[in-house]
Amino acid sequence: MSYKPDNARLAKNTILLYFRMALMMCINLYTSRIVLHTLGVEDYGIYNVVGGVIFIFSFITDSMTASTQRFLSFELGSGNKGKLHAVFVTSIHIHLLIALLVIILGETIGLWFLMEKMVIPAERMMAAQWVFQFSIFIAVLDVLSFPYISAIIAHEKMKSFAYIAILDAVLKLLMVYLLLVFDYDRLILYAALYATEKLLIRSIYNIYCVRNFEECKYKWIFQKSLFREMTSFAGWKLWGNLAFVFYSQGLNLLLNVFFGPLVNAARATAYHVQAAVANFASNFQMAINPQITKTYASGQLEETHKLIYRSVRLTFCMLLMLCLPLIIETPMVLGLWLMEVPEGSATFLRLLLVIIMIQQSSNALVTAVAATGNIKRYEMTLGTLMLTIVPISYVVLRMGGAPWSVFVVFLSVVIVAFFLNLYIILPMIKLKLKDYLRYAIGRCAIVLMLSLIAPFVMHLVKVPGLLFSFLNIFVIVICTGVIAYTFGMEKEEKDVVAKKLRGFVAKLK
């Protein structure tokens, strides 16, 4: 069966996902601002570092989610409906086992680390324990709902994400309101409200899938060969996800051990913005990734390559439009967003934005290598490299390094990983380096170099004041957008953008 990439669906899904992203970004930034002010810097840091302990075990879940996503998209591309149902049911069984494992690890190793190793004021330890238990509950909810979310993405039914995002936003606003109204320990209250909100949203995802996708109606099936195939794929993915969780939460724990919860609050503030930016990119990738897997499954390598080029170029251009003004005007943006800006947040954020641009622009290649099913070499090599971030950072901090130095280490390793990606993945998907440089990286480099002209000119004429900062952001975004459209897009992509803009203008008229 031949799968035909649908550009109209891709454009529609991208728009829907960006609507979802814009709504969630605004709500998340607003609620995090209120939560930081309401909890205070210390409790806010405690919540993030304690919640991060249970997040360490999510590498198990994420690896299986990637496996479920890949196998569902692959079977949809090949047209095998019987195998599709078997894949979904098998993923449910595996996720039930993972949920049990998360509980066991959380209540043993995780609880021990919380009580014995973390730097938390004695008077807040009881609240921290409540936060930890709610975090385990949230982690289990996520584990059990991931097969259903993977089904929505594989089917490219992104409208549901947009609708559920509206309800999610309303519930988050209600959560913040209740946090302000009730006179109770607000750290515990926030954790309880967040867990309740997660339960409602995850339940809705599950109900939607059961009603709309035939394969999501549970019926006992156990295929030993499929179980082994999916867990084998997830096993190698586990190594890469272990590295991700180890360096992300490992750096957070290092900062806690060396500098205390106030620096964790600064790191959490930077990560909130970084997560919003990452979601901005992942929304487009969420729309295009299933098509990359499906075209590969149906043997259309040329179409797969074209989708990879498109994903790399458009992801980089969209991130550049967002990140470049944020990097230049970071203090102003944080000052407007937060009532109290934790010290060090601006430096953390600037470094994280550069990191996220490099990482997200490589995600199309990661999706392609997952489509092949042969991920052993990639995961072992890249995972091992990323695992070096924490020990190197520990050495740097022991030598007297500042908090921001760990993110310099992070950035250095990510740059090395970028080149390793090219060396390992391109031969696996029969993609020539010269073509990748010509149609993807080369275009991105041109857009980047030309986009730096506007901020350089604005810096030369800079005057103090909030008005100039807004003008600076406006000029950079417009200039970067024009350059990205001119040099970063193929004719077909320009035609789609122009058509959508004409339709938008016509509706306004």
Per-residue pLDDT in tens (0 to 9) along the chain, 509 residues: 455 555 555 556 666 666 666 666 677 667 777 777 777 777 777 777 776 656 655 556 666 666 676 777 777 766 666 677 788 888 888 888 888 888 888 888 878 877 877 777 788 888 888 888 888 888 888 888 888 887 877 777 777 767 777 788 788 888 878 887 887 888 888 888 888 988 998 888 888 888 888 777 777 877 777 787 777 776 667 776 777 777 777 887 888 878 777 777 777 778 777 777 777 777 667 777 778 887 887 778 888 898 899 888 888 888 898 889 889 988 888 887 776 677 778 888 899 899 988 888 888 888 888 888 777 788 888 888 888 888 999 999 898 888 888 889 999 999 999 998 888 889 888 889 999 998 889 999 999 999 999 989 888 887 777 888 889 889 998 999 899 888 888 877 777 667 666 665 565 55
Half-sphere exposure of 141 (CA within 13 A, CB side): 18
Evaluate whether residue 440 is within a structural domain: yes
Structure tokens at 33: 């601002």
CB 485 within 8 A of CB 451: no
Burial class from Cβ neighbours inside 10 Å (0-12, 13-18, 19+) for residue 492 reads exposed
Evaluate whether residue 292 is within a structural domain: yes
Evaluate whether residue 74 is within a structural domain: yes
Evaluate whether residue 1 is within a structural domain: no
- CA atoms of 285 and 279, how far apart (whole Å): 10
CB 263 within 8 A of CB 403: yes
Would the CA dihedral through 339, 345, 350, 356 be positive or negative?
Answer: negative
Q: First CA to last CA across the chain, in angstroms?
A: 44
Number of domains in the chain: 1
- CA atoms of 16 and 76, how far apart (whole Å): 22
Range(s) of the domain holding residue 467: 7-508
Q: What is the CA radius of gyration of the chain?
A: 23
Concatenate the DSSP letters of all residues of 469-503 into one string: HHHHHHHHHHHHHHHHHHHSS-HHHHHHHHHHHHH
Structure tokens at 264: 């964790």
- CA atoms of 134 and 191, how far apart (whole Å): 6
Evaluate whether residue 323 is within a structural domain: yes
Amino acid at 107: E
Amino acid at 108: T
Concatenate the DSSP letters of all residues of 298-339 into one string: TT-HHHHHHHHHHHHHHHHHHHHHHHHHHHHTHHHHHHHH-S
Evaluate whether residue 103 is within a structural domain: yes
Quick check: pTM over 0.85? no
Evaluate whether residue 2 is within a structural domain: no
Evaluate whether residue 436 is within a structural domain: yes
